[in-house]
Amino acid sequence: NNSRKTLKVRLETSPFTLSIDQPVINADGLVGIVIREYAPYADIRIITDPGSGVDLVVERTRDSASLQCKREMDHICQAMRLKWNAQIQPGDIVLSSGLDTRYPEGYRVGRITHVLPQAGQLHRTANITPSVDFDRQEEVLILSKRSIP
| The model's pTM | 0.88
How confident is the prediction for the chain on average, in pLDDT? 86
The DSSP 8-state label assigned to residue 132 in this structure reads: S
Query: What pLDDT, on the 0 to 100 scale, is given for residue 2?
Result: 44
3-state secondary structure of 25: strand
Task: Give dist(CA 85, CA 18) in Å, integer.
Answer: 42
Q: pLDDT, tens digit, for every residue of 76-90?
A: 799 998 988 899 999
HSE (side-chain half, CA atoms, 13 Å) at 83: 10
CA atoms within 13 A on the CB side of 9: 31
pLDDT in single tens digits along all 149 residues of the chain:
445 588 888 887 666 678 889 999 999 999 999 999 887 889 999 999 888 889 999 999 999 999 998 765 566 799 998 988 899 999 999 999 999 888 999 999 999 999 987 777 788 899 999 999 988 878 899 998 655 55
Sheet holding 23-26, edge to edge: 6-10, 41-46, 29-38, 23-26, 141-142
